[in-house]
Amino acid sequence: MKVRVICYEGYRAEETPRAFLLGEHRLDVTDVLDRWRGEDHEYVKLVASDGNRYVLRYDRDTDEWEMVLMEAPGRPPTPKDARRES
């Protein structure tokens, strides 16, 4: 699912999500748990203001963000969540 991401660009020019929009609903990023680079994408695992964990993927070629995983606290990821991740 494509999302609009509001970022802070630090001194190393790495974009760090500060908030993102799911439809019309704005979610603020309360904590960045992890980030890593893939071959063509960058990934950020974060906690949003709704208490859920998300993995957002940034495509450097198209300059687009996508939500690839949403995990509610206290609920293990479902097989449907895992399919979204790939």
Ordered by start, the domain boundaries in the chain are 2-79
Q: How far apart are CA 6 and CA 18, in angstroms?
A: 6
Write out pLDDT tens, residues 11-37. 554 678 999 998 899 999 999 999 999
pTM above 0.85, yes or no: no
pLDDT digits (tens, 9 = 90+) for 46-74: 999 999 999 999 998 898 999 999 988 76
The set of long-range contacts for 37-43, using a CB threshold of 8 Å and a minimum separation of 24, is 42/15, 43/68
